[in-house]
Amino acid sequence: MRAALYFSPPADHPLSVAAAAWLGRDAWTGAILDRGPVPDFDATALDALTAEPRRYGFHATLKPPFRLAEGRSLDVLRTEVAAFCRNTPPARIEALRLERIGAFFALTPDGDAAAVHGLADAVVRAFDGFRALPTPDEIARRRPDRLTARQREYLAVWGYPYVFDEFRFHMTLTGPVPEEHRERMEAVLRELFAAFIGRPLAVDALCLFTEPHPPGDFVVDTATPLSGAAG
């Protein structure tokens, strides 16, 4: 089993509902959903283009998936998440935008993202004691030869290269999209998520996701409100 600490809007939030329908799976319930027809894309192609984010569920990564360290249990992790959330205030994204990051598309903050970056930094540090050291195979899957020196340092120390100043808050909507399909994919996503682009989003909960049987689908285990007072 692996665990991860993510942000996701509540199960009944319109953004969660829209994203689950787009990806074809609801991480809150595990239900497989019918996306319906999408102009200029057949169902098989879209299933392939959304396979990776569908497996992980709609979310923004705060602490990426990890195996539990020896002597650490899921119950204790749940308890520590609850304690962390009682003392940590929510953050707010001023507006969402649709962005292509390399070859994939995601919803990202438009404007000052310092608060959500600070939250991510705190989550990475607070829960690192629960993380088992990565195996050589897990390190190799990060392709360290393609990383910068700073990213390799973070990979060695924190088990993930994209933390702290390398972190970018993003809620992934696709896997890599071939160049010839990117323009059309962007148009489709802009239409589907028009109600959320340019609108604010409260980052007000810490979600514990689990992957019961790796490699497999991630599901929401708990969602705990961030209820600390703002400093």
Average pLDDT over the chain, rounded to whole? 96
Distance from C-alpha of 63 to C-alpha of 16, rounded to nearest angstrom? 20
pTM of the model: 0.96
Which pLDDT tens digit goes with each residue over 27-41? 999 999 999 999 989
**Is the residue at 231 inside a domain?**
no
What pLDDT, on a 0 to 100 scale, did the predictor assign at position 212? Answer: 94
**Is the residue at 194 inside a domain?**
yes
Mean pLDDT (whole number) for 172-177: 98
**Is the residue at 65 inside a domain?**
yes
Question: Domains in the chain: how many in total?
Answer: 1
Residue-number span of the structural domain to which 199 is assigned? 2-225
Mean pLDDT (whole number) for 67-94: 97
What pLDDT, on a 0 to 100 scale, did the predictor assign at position 208? Answer: 98
Concatenating the DSSP letter of every residue in 119-177 gives: HHHHHHHHTGGGBPPPPHHHHHHT-GGGS-HHHHHHHHHHS-SS-GGG----EE--S--
**Is the residue at 18 inside a domain?**
yes
What pLDDT, on a 0 to 100 scale, did the predictor assign at position 231? Answer: 62
**Is the residue at 138 inside a domain?**
yes
- The CA-CA-CA angle for residues 197, 208, 115, to 5°, reads 50
Residues present in the chain in total: 231
Residue 133: pLDDT over 70: yes
Residue 78: pLDDT over 70: yes
Q: What is the CATH number of the domain that holds 98?
A: 3.90.1140.10
What pLDDT, on a 0 to 100 scale, did the predictor assign at position 230? Answer: 75
pLDDT band for position 223 (cuts 50, 70, 90): very high
What pLDDT, on a 0 to 100 scale, did the predictor assign at position 18? Answer: 98
**Is the residue at 16 inside a domain?**
yes
Mean pLDDT (whole number) for 175-187: 97
**Is the residue at 53 inside a domain?**
yes
**Is residue 155 a contact partner of residue 147, using CB atoms and an 8 Å limit?**
yes
**Is the residue at 117 inside a domain?**
yes
Least confident span in 14-18, 38-42, 73-77, 180-184? 38-42
Which pLDDT tens digit goes with each residue over 189-207? 999 999 999 999 999 999 9
Mean pLDDT (whole number) for 169-175: 98
pLDDT band for position 67 (cuts 50, 70, 90): very high
What pLDDT, on a 0 to 100 scale, did the predictor assign at position 146? Answer: 95
Mean pLDDT (whole number) for 13-26: 98
**Spatial CA neighbour of 1 closest among 79, 74, 61:** 74
What pLDDT, on a 0 to 100 scale, did the predictor assign at position 229? Answer: 82
